[in-house]
Amino acid sequence: MQRRHFLKTASLGVAGAVAAPFVTTSSARAQETFTWDMVTSWPKNFPALGTGANDFARRVEQLSNGRMQIRVHGAGELVPALEVFDAVAAGTAEMGHSASYYWRGKVAASQFFTAVPFGMTTTEMNAWLYHGGGQELWDEIYANHNLKPFAVGNTGTQMGGWFKKEINSLDDMQGLKLRLPGLAGEAMNGIGVSTVNIPGSEIFTSLQTGALDAADWVGPYNDLAFGLHQVADYYYTSAWNEPSAVLEGTINLDAWNSLPEDLQNVVREAARASNLAMISEFAFRNAEALEALVDEHGVQLRTFPDDVMAALYTSSLEAVQRQVDNDEESRRVYESYSAFQKLLRPFSDVGEYAYLKNRDNVGG
């Protein structure tokens, strides 16, 4: 029944269709209207990320028959890109759209709700959030900060990043200045790289001026939009750092509690539909953009050498373990995360992974 309900609402969202309200509120609250502000970590209308926030706002307005409207603000319009968490918690804006690993200094466990190096894929991550207790843990932890979180998008598997010089061995990584957030950034620090977390809008200039030697952003679609191929020659395809990257919609908890039940359900369903829509968009647009980067711009695709990948794997395990050892919330979240990944892995191995290997082997 849950699966049928999800498929029905998701297909309505993807098609842009507007159905009659699926929850009826008989009280006078059914006539209330709400206008919220959403602050984001992305430039206004930035492909997929910024437009994904717009898509969510549009769905909410449609599904609520206009009773709820959300005004979307790009990074820096109301608050800086990396201050979304605090602004929404304080009620400066009712809602935010960002990535939870940006808040590691405030909520250490938040990193596990965006991406874990060598962790779960997009499909696996959604399964954990929707069916494996991940959403409940996220709710519990964020409630301590006056926030209600949702998954509102996912980039899918991200690239290994842009490098200004070719990497031929682990020695070539030593001392590099790299933009890479979250647990993956900690793993890079562990193999001799110096990482920083800066907004995406600052990456191009930082590479151009030499403030950075390398940078992770998202994938071909968003990287092409920022023109990163103009300031770095080598594009690393080795997917390890963000096998999935959940984009979060955060809601001020007081604002959330002020909504009648039917509008809370509107927000839930709009979040699910926008999550699916962004995943689908990235799958298509990344393929288009990768072709353009290689064929039109001459980008050099590379994979990290074996010694680099081995070192990153070991360092990733160590970074996660340090996090778990030093923070109780992180321990609880990772116990749930890793147990669910272990549960899914046997079928993932004999299912999609086995199919992709066979497709490549048979099809050349």
CA distance 272 to 157: 19
Percent of the chain exceeding pLDDT 90 equals 90
Question: pLDDT per residue over 307-325, tens digit each?
Answer: 999 999 999 999 999 999 9
- The fold of the 2-156+243-283 domain, in CATH, is D-Maltodextrin-Binding Protein; domain 2 (3.40.190)
CA distance 36 to 251: 10
Q: Kindly indicate the confidence band of residue 27, based on its pLDDT and cuts at 50, 70 and 90.
A: low
* pLDDT at residue 28 in the model: 56
* pLDDT at residue 362 in the model: 83
* pLDDT at residue 363 in the model: 67
Question: pLDDT per residue over 107-129, tens digit each?
Answer: 999 999 999 999 999 999 999 99
* pLDDT at residue 31 in the model: 82
Percent of the chain exceeding pLDDT 70 equals 91
What is the dotted CATH code of the domain comprising 161-241+296-326? 3.40.190.10
Strands (E), 234-359: 234-236, 246-252, 300-302
Domain boundaries of the chain, sorted by first residue: 2-156+243-283, 161-241+296-326
Instruction: List Cα–Cα distances, 357 to 121, 279, 361, in angstroms.
Output: 16, 22, 6
